[in-house]
Amino acid sequence: MERVGPYWHMLPLANQARKAIWDAVNPRTGRRRIDDAFPAEIRESTRENDMFIRFKNGATWQVVGSDNYNSLVGSPPVGIVFSEYALADPAAWAMLRPILAENGGWALFISTTRGRNHFHKLVEYAKKAEDWYGETLTVEDTGAISMESIEKERRELEAERGKEEAKAIIDQEYYCDADASIPGSYYGSHMSKALKEKRIGLFPWLPKEPVGTAWDLGTGDSTVIWCFQQPDSGRVRIIDCISGSGVGIDWYARKLAQRPYVYAEHIWPHDGGHKNIRDINDATLKVTAQSLGIRPIRVLDRDASVAHGIQAVRDIMPLCEFNDTPIPFEDETAEQAAQRMERGLDALKQYRRVWDEKLQRFSDTPLHDWASDFADGLRYLARGRRPFPGKDYYQAIEQPQPDEDGIYF
């Protein structure tokens, strides 16, 4: 009411936003929460399909999802609420923060703590920074729910899911414990173990060793590339993570060419070789990629099941070393390069199943959100990795180099 402009209330997924905010009913009043917050007297119009309200003073408020933040750019907001930010794609904030900086806007982040992820790091920064405010409030701080109610819930959860799962949920939801296991996480315990065993840290590129890549190819979603080496120690050294959205295969070709790596092979999922996946020149994506210098490409067979691929990742997790200081691109700082890898590692911690309230068990399929693109890329790495040929093989390969216009021949 004080400053006219667009305002967004953003949840991780657009369909989640509709259920949790737009259609949600306040049990104390029996009315929709948006009607409690924004009475009809101050509204000019309401669009149900877009979850959009225009007020009589010209300001607007809209419920949106961070899963389609690219489509939102162009209508510069002056205020954004990021709700359940721990589950949101952090790239949304990276994309939107320059807009708020330009127009003097503000952002508010609300979430349950779900591991030592991007939200946890942001809160810890906000508590120390002069131009931010941050706080963590547990149920003991707020007193919003009685201890008797929490203990009752703990007993019920133990009966439904077991003591370990019940403890993780209580610690996470009520005590904001960043070290609590994420319920339903596929790789959370493996990543925690890697951290304890100091397998996440400085594991840089080994110049004498070839590099493989494993891709999750996105069309509407992000494309993710994991770069890895297999040194003589038997470890799988994951040295870099590249991701993008809304860009062509030429963008990834340029990024890969900026590295000093000698590539052994590029592992693609089964649909990477499909003839119906074509680029603007009506060539298959694989043919285009090869013409841009991405070679050799090996396309995997279709997964027998996603579950088998997830188990393949679990099998190699004890062998994995994760480098948290990748080489910066030409347009990056060292901090920005580290943030790329951090986002990939956060995704592996967040990748999870969803609890089915009706069946009272976790679903058999993963939740498809921003984290699944990174997890799928690692799944193809686990399924497709094999011993690289001898070093003489790479010395004989003429690595493609672009001309001054970035074109490969």
How confident is the model over 345-368, as pLDDT tens digits?
Answer: 989 988 988 766 666 567 778 888
Pair 103, 209 in one domain: no
Domain membership of residue 29 (yes or no) is yes
| Residue scoring higher pLDDT (225 or 282) | 225
Question: Residue 365 maps to which CATH number?
Answer: 3.30.420.280
- Nearest CA among 15, 2, 6, 4 for reference residue 73: 6
Give just the sign of the alpha carbon dihedral 366, 371, 376, 381.
negative
Q: Indicate whether 277 pLDDT > 50.
A: no
Find the mean pLDDT for residues 177-184. Answer: 74
Domain membership of residue 352 (yes or no) is yes
Q: Which residues contact 109 (CB under 8 A, 6 or more apart)?
A: 82, 85, 119, 122, 123
pTM over 0.75: no
- Of the residues 64, 95, 110, which one is the last residue of a structural domain? 110
Find the mean pLDDT for residues 17-46. Answer: 93
Q: Quick one: pLDDT at residue 91?
A: 82
133-173: per-residue pLDDT in tens? 999 999 999 998 999 999 999 999 888 877 877 888 898 88
Contact call for residues 177 and 171 (beta carbons, < 8 A) = yes
Residue type, 105: G
Pair 213, 100 in one domain: no
- Of the residues 110, 135, 164, which one is the last residue of a structural domain? 110
Contact call for residues 217 and 206 (beta carbons, < 8 A) = no
Residue 283 CB neighbour total at 10 angstroms: 13
Find the mean pLDDT for residues 79-87. Answer: 93
% helix, strand, coil for the chain, step of 5? 40, 20, 40
Q: Which residues contact 359 (CB under 8 A, 6 or more apart)?
A: none
Domain membership of residue 400 (yes or no) is no
Q: Quick one: pLDDT at residue 359?
A: 62
Alpha helix segments (H runs only) across 318-384: 334-350, 370-384
Q: Quick one: pLDDT at residue 404?
A: 54
| Beta strands at 353-356 and 361-366: parallel, antiparallel or unpaired | antiparallel
Residue 350, both tokens: 């967040």
Q: Quick one: pLDDT at residue 406?
A: 45
Pair 95, 230 in one domain: no
Q: Quick one: pLDDT at residue 74?
A: 62
Domain membership of residue 15 (yes or no) is yes
Question: Residue 57 maps to which CATH number?
Answer: 3.40.50.300
Find the mean pLDDT for residues 168-185. Answer: 81
Contact call for residues 227 and 211 (beta carbons, < 8 A) = yes
Domain membership of residue 123 (yes or no) is no
Q: Indicate whether 329 pLDDT > 70.
A: yes
Pair 73, 216 in one domain: no
Domain membership of residue 314 (yes or no) is yes
In whole angstroms, what is the distance from residue 90 CA to residue 120 CA?
Answer: 12
Of the candidate ranges 41-55, 216-230, 250-264, 383-397, the one whose mean pLDDT is the lowest: 383-397
Q: Indicate whether 204 pLDDT > 80.
A: yes
In whole angstroms, what is the distance from residue 247 CA to residue 354 CA?
Answer: 30
Domain that holds residue 284: 200-395
In the chain, the number of structural domains is: 2
